[in-house]
Amino acid sequence: ELARRRFRDIAQIAGLVVTTYPGQHKSVRQLQASSSLFYDVFRKFDPENGLLRQAEREVLEDALDIARLAESFERLQNREIVHVALQRCSPLAFPLMVERMRERLSNETLAARIERMISQLERAADKC
């Protein structure tokens, strides 16, 4: 979807989609439909199209910041992994714990269980 959105701008710059004609103006919906149609046709019949590749490359570079992600992985690769047994849930593990609690049957609602966990974590943080 990100590449499709980026392709809309690229299609306009490349002249595939014309935004205005003399005396007429295309709506945003018409522009989206036209560029989406080009995107689908290129994806199906010409997957190696340069405009498609450019849209995908821009998404990787801009939205996902692939270069910085690769640098982070390289730094992590040279580090030692230290396993530490925690007495309570860490902030990074909290979403995983919530997902696990969602699966459990309980008399308490999920929101109440989450609220209880948050208050326990906040009390523990105040002691530190």
What is the per-residue pLDDT across 19-29, written as a single tens digit (0 to 9) for each?
776 777 777 78
Predicted TM-score (pTM) of the model is 0.49
Q: Please state, in angstroms and rounded to a whole number, the distance separating the CA atoms of residues 6 and 34.
A: 14
Q: Per-residue confidence at 86, pLDDT binned at 50, 70, 90?
A: confident
Q: What is the DSSP secondary structure assignment for residue 18, as one 8-state letter?
A: -
Highest mean pLDDT among 31-45, 57-71, 94-108, 110-124: 31-45
Say yes or no to pLDDT of 78 above 80.
Answer: yes
pLDDT of residue 101: 76
Enumerate residues 6+ apart whose C-beta is below 8 A from 6. Answer: 55, 58, 59
pLDDT per residue over 96-105, tens digit each? 888 887 777 6
| pLDDT value of position 125 | 78
Q: What is the pLDDT of residue 22?
A: 73
Residues linked to residue 20 through DSSP beta bridges, in sequence order: 25
Q: What's the Cα-to-Cα distance from 28 to each of 111, 122, 125, rounded to whole Å?
A: 40, 48, 50
Q: Closest Cα partner for 119 from 87, 93, 99, 89?
A: 89
